[in-house]
Amino acid sequence: MGKNGGAGERIRYNIITTITYIVGIILLIQLFNLQIIHGAEYRETSNSRLTRESIVKAARGSIKDRTGVDLVNTDTGYSVEIYSTKVDDEGLNTSIQKFVQILESNKDEFVDNLPIKVEPFEFTIESEEEQKSWKKNNNIDENYNAEQVFYYLKNKYKITADDLQVARKIMAVRYEISRNGYSSTRSVTIAKNISDISAVQIREQNASLAGMNVVTEPTVSYKSGNLASHVLGYVGAINKEEYETRKDTYRNDDIIGKSGIQKVFEEYLKGTDGIKQVDMTVDGAITSEYISEEAVAGSDVVLTIDANLQKVAEDALKQNIEDIAAGKYGGKKHNADAGAVVVMNVNTGEVLAMASYPDYNPERYSEEYSADDNSGRYNNRAISSAQPPGSTFKMAVATAALAEGKITPTTKINDTGVYPYGHHPACWYYRSYRTGHGYLNVTQAIKYSCNYFFYEMGYRLGIDKIAEYAQKYGLGKRTGIELEGEASGTLASTAYAESIGYTWYLSDTLSAAIGQSYNNFTPIQMARYVSMLANGGKNIDVSIVKSIINPDGTEVSKEEIDKFVKEKLDTENEVKEDIEISKENLDAIKKGMRGVTSEAGGTAYSTFADFDMDIAGKTGSAQVIMPDGKEEAHGWFVGFAPYDKPEIAVVVLVEKASSGGYTASVAKAIMEEYFGMNAEEVTEDKNAQSGVESVR
């Protein structure tokens, strides 16, 4: 056994030694083949081909409505990037000219940030200081005029084209390359969102377009045009200031959220870019490309709004403003031209719709924006426009008067027309009919919107007690909604008067008690106020973001979202407590609001007389002095529905509407949509045609 075992080991050893020797010989032959026989060939190939890394842009996350409908998502577009190659200036300029011709033949555009025009020569930078700064940054004599700068750059880039327009186009691309600093491994984007046909032609002619590469790139697409434009916000090219603080995660040609949800949740919506390897000859022709690191899309942000309700709110608001301006209410034309709507779940604080008019198309912002546009179309009036609430403030005053025992639900005040104290203000009814409302309790005073009654409440309470209860409703305080630009507004009080160096008088209290004076609130604050009236005084956290879904399907916790928003916006819900109000007192207020819409004499009865549901409402006409010195009246309608088991609060503001009663139709259209009344009407019509009885 021992001898046989030893012989076997020697045989195995000899076999392994022989195999190792043979492999060594083969490797030496192969090495000789590579280095000696084909060495020059492989060195030539190596020297004529380079591998570059190209960024694969990640798709931004979608923004969806509460039902999952895409409001914003990402489509695929084409961009053109360019790398440095070994071609000389003449070859590069020829390639650029051909590239521009391809784009222009298909009505596409190249990136053009050159601040000079030709024929005539002039700078597009108006400020002389900015011109000097630009020249300094580009090593150009600060005394050069536009023509001298043009020819300086023409010479610098060795552009030989005699046609000034052609020369300028080549110059614009060369300038873009120069200012972004490209290399053989770092590209510069020279065209974005080009058409399919341009992309095909550039790829087909790649060999003659030095260093140019067509890349697929995600483009932000707004699926419903202007819908919810102020909520969604727009995206745009990252600017210098934004880039300086984000160099580690952004490129200087990235897009970034500029307003709305797009801006606030930029960190979630932006994905993580991938990497693509591009093999290219030294002359700039692409030989192959492949993905080495996959891009990861951004997270989806799901909003609380309902797209259908949002559309109804926007359409109804726009139509209402146009109708008021055309004189369809009261037979007289008014200057109505702007407004806002908020629809809120009274129990959760979720915003179901938020409209601001005039609006804009976020996808076309960069093309349509004009610094001379004074319409305010880019301002979200629902959260930023603080206006006097007029008579819609009377429920807050009534809350204070009842809670403080200044009146009971049955206490009656005799409106004689002209209030005898302060500046002797008259009730609106007296100005119209030369008589007062007579004896009214708080329910009737709300229904008829009696100013005299609330002058007396102001006199009995004093301004600071009114302010105390208004603050509990969140008036004059930010809601903490997840949007940038929310205004605090102002709440009339002696403290506020002192802060601006004003001495408070009784007349100011009387004005404040009917929603005038320094009272200025936003529609979103008013929606919270009405929601708290509807839900029995319970504090709610106002929100327009329902959830955030990561690319892997996991959901971001509510705690993380709240913390993120608080740090990003430095804001939170500034209402901390519930309002303690007895059911008896609250019912007295709510019955008055029901009378506004469902009883003859109510200020919105004409709008809701045939409405198939009991609701609560209040109109308000607020006097304002416009910037031109003219006096106008903004119109408000606030309400909730259904009356017995409230689900939603609706707030409508139309600037320069003349009367709050004119705005109630907007709320009616919204309620019809929310409660499916429009669908029922369609069903009834079909059933009537077929002879089938409708069942509700």
DSSP 568-619: HHT------S-----HHHHHHHHHHHHHHHHSTT-TTHHHHTT-SS--EEEE
Rounded Cα–Cα distance for residues 6 and 24 (Å): 27
* pLDDT score for 1: 47
- Tell me the residue length of the chain: 696
Class of residue 326 by CB neighbours under 10 A (exposed 0-12, middle 13-18, buried 19+): exposed
Whether 19 has a pLDDT exceeding 90, the answer reads: no
- Give the whole-angstrom CA distance, residue 696 versus residue 692: 13
Give me the mean pLDDT over the 173-186 stretch. Answer: 86
Averaged over 338-347, what is the pLDDT? 98
Please name the residue that has the structure tokens 């609106």. 428
Categorize the per-residue pLDDT at 24 as very low, low, confident or very high, splitting at 50, 70 and 90: low
- 59-80 per-position pLDDT tens digit: 999 999 999 999 999 988 899 9
Distance CA 500, CA 497 (A): 5
Q: Over 50: is that where the pLDDT of 197 sits?
A: yes
Per-residue pLDDT tens for 358-410?
A: 999 999 998 888 878 888 999 999 999 999 999 999 999 999 999 999 999 99
Identify the pLDDT of residue 310: 98
C-alpha 566, offset from chain centre: 18
Give the CATH fold of the 307-362+379-680 domain.
Beta-lactamase (3.40.710)
| Cβ contact 138:132 at 8 Å | no
Residue in 114, 87, 91, 206 with CA at minimum distance from that of residue 169: 114
pLDDT at 302: 98
Query: Which pLDDT score, from 0 to 100, does residue 356 have?
Result: 98
Taking Cα atoms as reference points, which of 391, 388, 390, 409 lies closest to residue 399? 409
Which residue type does 399 have? T
In this structure, how many other beta carbons lie within 10 angstroms of the beta carbon of residue 316? 22
**pLDDT tens figures, 103-120:** 999 999 999 999 999 999
Residue 62: DSSP 8-state:
P
- Could you give the 3-state DSSP secondary structure of residue 474? coil
* pLDDT band at residue 284 under the 50/70/90 scheme: low
Residues above pLDDT 90, as percent of the chain: 76
Mean pLDDT of the chain: 90
From the centroid of its chain, how far is CA 388?
A: 25
52 DSSP β-pair partners: 278
Asked if residue 246 has pLDDT above 80, the reply is yes
Instruction: Convert the pLDDT of each residue in 322-336 to its tens digit.
Output: 999 999 998 899 999
As a whole number of angstroms, the distance between CA 398 and CA 393 comes to: 9
Q: What's the mean pLDDT in 448-454?
A: 98
When pLDDT is cut at 50, 70 and 90, the band that residue 55 belongs to is confident
Q: Tell me the three-class secondary structure of 605-671, residue by residue.
A: HHHHCCCCCCCEEEEEEEEEECCCCCEEEEEEEEEEECCCCCCEEEEEEEECCCCHHHHHHHHHHHH
Tell me which of 167 and 85 has the higher pLDDT. Answer: 167
Q: Residue 20: which H helix or E strand, with range?
A: helix 2-32
What are the tokens at 275? 């990497």
Buried b (16+ CB within 10 A) or exposed e, 601-625: ebbbbebbeebeeebbbbbbbbebe
Q: How far is CA 630 from CA 21, 330, 489, 519, in A?
A: 103, 21, 22, 19
Closest CA to 674 of 631, 642, 626: 642
The model's pTM: 0.82
Peptide bond into 358 cis (omega under 30): yes
Q: At residue 550, does pLDDT exceed 50?
A: yes
- Check residue 51 and give its pLDDT: 76
**Is 60 exceeded by the pLDDT of residue 46?**
no
